[in-house]
Amino acid sequence: DVKVTQSSRYLVKRTGEKVFLECVQDMDHENMFWYRQDPGLGLRLIYFSYDVKMKEKGDIPEGYSVSREKKERFSLILESASTNQTSMYLCASSGTSPRRVRTDTQYFGPGTRLTVL
Amino acid sequence: AQSVSQHNHHVILSEAASLELGCNYSYGGTVNLFWYVQYPGQHLQLLLKYFSGDPLVKGIKGFEAEFIKSKFSFNLRKPSVQWSDTAEYFCAVNARNSGTYKYIFGTGTRLKVLA
């Protein structure tokens, strides 16, 4: 079974803090994704990565950055946390080739519920 | 811009009732369609997907969905729901945008099944 793990289930941070959310997958997947999930808004893509050191902006990248130094690990960074970044953050991975992203199932982690005070 | 619409935000059914959750998308090109489910306290997981062939797709736990290209729809159905189907359901489209494929999720439908 594919396993996607996220470093924390719950996190509380203060406004202005730098926040790191870590995601690790164990299936040698090429593609990794970060979403935020908010009630009534569904899942919105923040960033995704097709390969090590490669990244592409999703629909709502403002206020976020990402890092992918190793294939299995994809980090989401909030440079200066703000209260409107309070949300559930979901990491996902898929595929063994960027060319197969089209039909690939995404496998999700358990999520990190971030509260910014 | 591409979008995915799920018109029912909350659905409450009694056990054994039939279920149909609507999903419409706006995109003119080739799309791949998915339904994901999130049971209480669990990860999002794939329910079923369509990318070619028979437009009627069967998934896990007795769910099925029909792709109707002319209506830009991919509605989820189950003839008889169970209490354990209580969950949030997300429709998703994977479509080509500026040279890369991107997932777009709908806003989700919360289903509550009364025992």
Which of B39, B103, B107, B110 would you mutate first to test chain A, the one with the most A CBs within 10 A? B103
The predicted structure's pLDDT at residue A21: 97
Q: Does B50 touch chain A (CB under 8 A)?
A: no
* Helix, coil or strand: residue A2: coil
The predicted structure's pLDDT at residue A5: 95
The predicted structure's pLDDT at residue B107: 94
Q: Residue A102 and residue B94: Cβ atoms within 8 Å? A: yes
Q: Residue A42 and residue B49: Cβ atoms within 8 Å? A: no
Q: Does A45 touch chain B (CB under 8 A)?
A: yes
**Which pLDDT tens digit goes with each residue over A75-108?**
999 999 999 999 999 999 988 655 555 557 889 9
Q: How far is B29 from chain A (nearest CA, A)?
A: 13
The predicted structure's pLDDT at residue A97: 57
Phi, psi of A85 (to 5 degrees): -100, 5
Q: Residue A40 and residue B9: Cβ atoms within 8 Å? A: yes
Q: Does B59 touch chain A (CB under 8 A)?
A: no
Q: Which residues of chain B have pLDDT under 70?
A: 1, 97-101
C-alpha to C-alpha distance for A86 and A7, rounded to whole angstroms: 17
CA dihedral of A109, B73, A99, A46, whole degrees rounded to 10: -40
Q: Residue B96 and residue A102: Cβ atoms within 8 Å? A: yes
The predicted structure's pLDDT at residue A82: 97
Q: Please tell me which of the candidates B32, B45, B90 has its beta carbon nearest to residue A43.
A: B90
A26: Cα within 13 Å, side-chain hemisphere: 7
Q: How far is A3 from chain B (nearest CA, A)?
A: 11
